[in-house]
Amino acid sequence: MFSAAVVLSLLAAAPLPEKPKLIVLDLTAAGIDERISSALSEAVTTEAANRAIFQVVSSKDVQTMLGVERQKQLLGCSEGSSCLMELGGALGARFVMSGSVARLGPSFQLSLQTIDTKTAQPVGRSSRIAKDLGELRGLIPWAVAEATGTPLPPPPSRWLPYSLIAGGGLFVVAGGIAGFNALAREEVISSELKHGESNPAALRPASEYAAEADIVGRQKFQALIGLGAGAALVALGLYLNPPDLPPVPQAATVALVPSFNGVAVVGGF
C-alpha cells in the first residue's frame, strides 16, 4: 500500500489539467462612447480571468497572435457566425465570448454570450440592464457567470452597510433622548421662574439656575451631535448598501458548463 506521503508527492508531481481557452472579444457599442465600451470590455475580460476557470485570451492578445489582415477578417465577424468558430480554431480556443453594450433611454444594457466553437452552440447568454454605468459595472461578475455557464458569485456582503445603519439608528435614538431630557428640564426651569414672579420666596439661588442652564445647553449640544452623527451614519450605510440584483429566472434550464475536459451538462428546475 502507498503511504500518504507517497500519494501526496504523486499528486503534487502530476501535471494539472489545462484550463479551457476562452477568447473575450471587445464589446460592440450602440449609442455610447467607444471609450466606455472599451473600459467595460476590459472589465469583462478581467472578470473572466479572475474566475480562474478559463485561460482567457483578450482581443489585444488576438491582435498580437494573428496577422493584421487575418485579425481584420476574424475580429470583424458578427455574433454567432461561423467566423467565431474559425477564430477559436485559429487560436486553439474552445470558447469565444462576444457581446454588446447599449444605451436604452436613461439606462444601459450589457449583453454577453459564449459560443462553443466545436459545436457552434451557445454555452450561455446574459442580458443585464442598469440605471447607470456604475451599477452596470457592478453587474459584470453575474453577467460573465451567466454567459459562461459557470457558478454565480456569492451575493455582495451587506454587513458593513447594515452595521452603519444600525449604529446610526442608535445615535439618533440617543440624540433624541438627550434632546427630550433637555427640553423637559428647560420646561421645568421655565415653570419655576414663571411661578417665582408671583412668589419670589419659592425661587432657588440664581447660581443654581445658571448651573441648570449650563446642563441644558450641554444636553442640547449632545442631542445635536447624536442626531447629526446618526443621520450621517445612516446615509453612509444606505450609500454603501449594494443594490438588489435582478432575480435569476427559475424556469427549467439546461446548460453546458465548461470543464477541464470539455463541457458538462447541468440542469436547474
SS (H, E, C) 111-167: EEEEEECCCCEEEEEEEEEECCHHHHHHCHHHHHHHHHCCCCCCCCCCHHHHHHHHH
Distance CA 76, CA 86 (A): 12
State the pLDDT at residue 267: 41
The grid cell for 245 is 440584483
State the pLDDT at residue 247: 56
Tell me how far CA of residue 29 lies from CA of 33, 99, 100, 158, in angstroms: 7, 9, 6, 33
Q: CA 239: distance to chain centroid?
A: 13
Taking the whole predicted model, whether its pTM rises above 0.85 is answered as: no
State the pLDDT at residue 246: 57
State the pLDDT at residue 208: 81
Asked if 134 and 112 touch (Cβ cutoff 8 Å), the reply is no
pLDDT, one tens digit per residue, over 82-103 is 555 666 655 677 888 889 999 9
One of 3.40.50.10070, 3.60.9.10, 3.40.350.10, 2.60.120.260 is the CATH number of 16-156+242-268, namely 3.40.50.10070
Phi, psi of 53 (to 5 degrees): -100, -30
pLDDT, one tens digit per residue, over 204-229 is 888 887 888 899 899 899 999 999 99
- Each domain of the chain, given as residue ranges in start order, spans 16-156+242-268, 159-240
State the pLDDT at residue 58: 82
Q: Which residues of the chain have pLDDT under 70?
A: 1-17, 64-91, 243-269
